[in-house]
Amino acid sequence: MTRIRVPRQWIPSFLFFVSITFLTTAGQAQLAIAPSNVNFGSVPLGSSQAQWLSVSNVGSSNIYVSQLGASGTGYTAQGVNLPFTLSPGQKVSVRVTFTPPGAGNDSGRLYASGSMSGGWGHHHWRNGGSSTSASANLSGAGVSSNGGGGTGQITPSPAALAFGSVLSGSSQTLMETLTNTGSASVTLSGASVSSGSFTLNGLSLPMTLSAGQRVTFAVIFAPSGSGSTSGTLAIASNASNSQLNIGLSGNGAASGQLQLMPTALNFGNVVTGASATLNGTLTASGSSVTISRASVTSTEFTVSGLSLPMTLAAGQSAGFTVTFLPSSSGTASASLSFTTNTSSVTESLTGNATAPAQHSVGLSWSPSTTQNVVAYNIYRGTVSGGPYSQLSSMDASPSYSDTSVSAGQTYYYVVTSVDGSGSESAYSNQAKAVVPNP
């Protein structure tokens, strides 16, 4: 057997490539383009009109997008570099421009296609067997800008919208008017706002405005929090000013809050029939507050010092008075509530009603020694010197307690004696008694 010896440097070096394909049926590839129909309106020859469309993955698997472009005369697509991968839910924006090559209607199509892909990038682990595509219809018209046709011009009124301060959670609406001040018809093709705090209402696009025609619509500012907000309302058209920007501004103001001090009033012990008063303060914070009503859950408490409805500016205060006038003995409690344009605040009221002090006038005199006295009559009046009213016919005891007196009153007393035959003596000298109050 003959052996051939090959020089080491003659031995070729081989590099092996292994291509691995993973098959999967767990996901679904699906592309979508929005909007599905785009009208660029009338575009003067020699100019262009652009609109943004979105290409999105609405399926459940990654999509390897290999083709994306525009067909039709005068249409071009920009904004993305091929190829690229879209994960589920992801989207890209594509700028489509229409430059009419001549007068008349023109149609085209924005298209995109790709296949389901995995996670190793563009060149590995791609399932070429599951493909997807989507398209959107494009239309527009080229119009002559000379030969008596003129040009269109969009003029806004006002040129900017300032909403001022608006309470967070509420909204403010201002009207905007767009007028075609040019000499040719204009097609409004799109309108967008750059901030979610602003929305449009009453503008249906696309629409065509002839020379001198106008459209009025609403712009709504609804702040979700406090602080300044600015934005831009962009109007796209085929006018000479094809991209019109209208400035938007507003300030979100925190809702006004009413602060109540103190949050509880305790009147302590108050005699039934008498009254006691305590004071409180209301203060507005954040922004102005309108107080519409004050209500108390018990008639034994009343509120005074406020003329309602009333508005307090931020930081402003107003005082009020609460009066406790108990009608019966025992503990009394109630709630005092102030209702505002944003909320309400409550103050607790308590007090203890006590029975009035029981007053009496004690009378005593020296017994008569000149007659056989069997009884004494007691008389009382409220004016010195009478007249007097008889209180009681007594036995021979030379003393009496008058328990029917009232606090704060002054009384005048006289006594007569009665003998065994029923004869009554003259009035004694007058005695005066002042009952304290209470």
Q: Which domains does the chain have, with CATH numbers?
A: 31-143 (2.60.40.10), 154-253 (2.60.40.10), 257-354 (2.60.40.10), 361-434 (2.60.40.10)
**205 Cβ contact list (under 8 Å, min separation 6):** 188, 189, 190, 191
Residue 438: what pLDDT?
Answer: 67
At residue 210, the pLDDT reads 92
Cβ atoms within 10 Å, residue 96: 22
* pLDDT at position 396: 77
Tens-digit pLDDT profile for residues 333-391: 999 999 988 788 999 999 999 887 788 899 998 887 767 888 889 999 999 999 999 98
DSSP 127-138: EEEEEEEEEEEE
Sheet with 373-381: list strands edge to edge: 389-393, 373-381, 410-419, 431-434
Backbone angles phi, psi at 8, to 5 degrees: -60, -35
Q: How far is CA 345 from CA 258, 259, 270, 406, in A?
A: 7, 7, 26, 42
- Claim: this prediction has a pTM higher than 0.85: no
The pLDDT, as a whole number, for residue 6 is 40
User: Measured on CA atoms in the order 186, 192, 198, 204, is the torsion positive or negative?
Assistant: positive
Q: Closest Cα to residue 289, out of 261, 268, 313?
A: 313
pLDDT at 136: 94
Please provide the distance, in angstroms rounded to a whole number, between the alpha carbons at the two ends of the chain.
Answer: 145
**Could you say which residues of the chain have pLDDT below 50?**
1-26, 119-128, 146-148
Rounded to whole angstroms, the Cα distance separating 312 from 290 reads: 6
Task: Give residue 105's pLDDT.
Answer: 87
- Nearest CA-CA partner of 351 in 411, 274, 240, 438: 274
